[in-house]
Structure formats: structure tokens, C-alpha cells
Amino acid sequence: MESLMPFLDKYKRLVNSELERHIRVNTNEGRLQNAMLYSILAGGKRLRPILLMATIEAFQKDARKGVSVACALEMIHTYSLIHDDLPAMDNDDLRRGQPTNHKKFDEATAILAGDALLTLSFQVISNAEELTSEEKVFIISKLSAASGPKGMVDGQMKDMNSENQTIPLEELENIHKHKTGDLLKFAVLSGAYLAHANEHEMSEMTTMAEALGLLFQIQDDILDVIGDAEAIGKPTGSDEGNYKSTYPQLLGLEGAINQRDHYGQIAQNSLHQAGVNGTVLSELINYLSQRDR
């Protein structure tokens, strides 16, 4: 088994250089390009690309088959952060310890940089040399569904609507299922698809991906309570300030930790059922569950 850290590092470097290349090739020099590069190269964990490539590798295929899709996915994730940070949305000044896009540039530039990254993501997939036309169409259909008005955008809309009120656990899970979960799920399922997983394996990976999405969000909420602001790169306690419902609020801190570990077990069990336990994916689940930022 390849161990986790060298894997993370190798694919993070590959994705970083490909992301920068795609933007430089497909944009003109100037303010728009600068704003896109600023947010894309702001030091994200590249969790979604790595999850996609780790899934391909878990099924013993070449992870590079997923590199364009991984870049497209990270562009969509990054655009969503830029737009979510805007004053009309979450109104955040800091992201990963740096000024948010609209603070570094201005609101108009941030809106357009987000629009450009979203559009470029589909361009990158449609031009990917390592994919067949059928694969491109399948991936674009799934990625647009995951990030569109029944996916991530709907989750963000519902998240905005639920501010300043306490919502039931079921509704909180439904928001995160779409806002964060759908892109994580896409990462796993597109990886399994590109690795030619069979129907049984796809079904188990779906269960795994849904559990992983929830686990990831619960840990996010836990870190907002107990995390180190410097490690996270933004002030902790911000959910409370915005009057957002969180898992620790609804379940208590210990309850939230138990819930997180419950989903961790579901995810690991699904890996076992899909025959890909003991891979870098298992370690990745543990890592995401225990991460401190």
C-alpha cells in the first residue's frame, strides 16, 4: 500500500501545476487572470482532486486518467468559495489566512473570476486528451448536476435561507448533502467510473461517498468550535457569529464526534464491501476525520 503523505503530496503538486497551466493557456493576461490565479493558487488542500485520483488508484488504474476532471472539479470548488465569500453571501474577509478574492481585488472582479472558473471547468473536460467523447459527456452530465441547481448551488441557497434560525438535524444534513456533499460524491463516483468499477462497486462507493461528505462537514463544524484559528486560516466561532446551525450545537460536542465516527465506520465498511479496503482511500478517510484544519 502506498502511504498517505507521499500520495497527497505527489497528486497535489500535479494538480497545482495543471491548474495553473489551464488558467494561463485559457485566459488573457490581466486582472481577470490574476484574480483566477490568486484564488486557485491560494493553498487549498486539493481534497476533491486527491479523492478522485485516490479512488482511481484504489481500483488499480492509472490516476492520471482523472487529472483533467480533478482540475475541473477544483475550479468549481474554488469558484463556489469566491462567490460564497462575497458581501451579499457569507461576507468573509479571510480565506485560508489570506484576503478573500473581493477583498484583494473588488466585488465585480470576484464575481467574474468565479464565473470564469466555472465556465473554464467544462472547457477543460471537453478538451481533455485522455478521455473519450462518451467519458467526457458522462462526466460533464454528472459534474453539472452535482454543482448545479439541484446540487451545490441549491445547498448554498438553502444554507442562506436557514441563517439566523435553528433548523432540525435532518434539514442540516440535507443542506450539507448538497452544499459540500455533492462535489465530494462526484469526486469518488467519477473516479470509480473512470476506473471502470462495476455496478456493485459503484453502489458501495456511493454509500462511502455520502458518509464521507457528512463526516467531512461534521469535522468542519467541530473545528469551528475547538480548532486553532491559525491552523484553519480563518477565525473560529464564526458559525456562531453568523447564527448558523451546526452539528455541535444540535448534538453537543461529544455527540458530534460520535456522529462523525459513525459515518467514518460506514465509509470504511463500504470500502471493504467494494474490495478496496487497505488502500490509500482508507487512510484518506481517517485523515479527513482527524484533520485539524
Residue type, 203: S
Least distance (Å) from its own copies to the CB of residue 151? Answer: 8
Q: Cβ closer to its own copies: 23 or 271?
A: 23
Residues 107-126 that bind its own copies (CB under 8 A): 107-109, 111-112, 114-116, 118-120, 122-123, 125-126
Residue with cell string 462575497: 86
Q: Cβ closer to its own copies: 182 or 201?
A: 182
Q: Which helix (H) or strand (E) holds 99?
A: strand 98-99
- Using CB under 8 A as the binding criterion, the count of chain residues that bind its own copies stands at 49
- Does position 187 bind its own copies by CB under 8 A? no
Distance CA 251, CA 23 (A): 43
Comparing C-alpha atoms, which of 9, 75, 79 is closest to residue 48? 75
Residues 72-91 that bind its own copies (CB under 8 A): 79, 83, 86, 88-89
Positions of E strands within 21-131? 94-95, 98-99
CA dihedral 175, 177, 180, 181 (to 10 degrees): 180
Least distance (Å) from its own copies to the CB of residue 125? Answer: 8
Residues 124-183 that bind its own copies (CB under 8 A): 125-127, 133-134, 136-137, 140-141, 144-145, 147-150, 153-154, 156-157, 160-161
Name residue 98's beta-bridge partners. Answer: 95
List CB contacts of 116: < 8 A, sequence separation 6 or more.
27, 32, 36
- Which grid coordinates are listed for 260? 462523525
- Does position 37 bind its own copies by CB under 8 A? no
| Residues lying near its own copies in the complex (CB under 8 A) | 23, 26-28, 30-33, 36, 79, 83, 86, 88-89, 106-109, 111-112, 114-116, 118-120, 122-123, 125-127, 133-134, 136-137, 140-141, 144-145, 147-150, 153-154, 156-157, 160-161
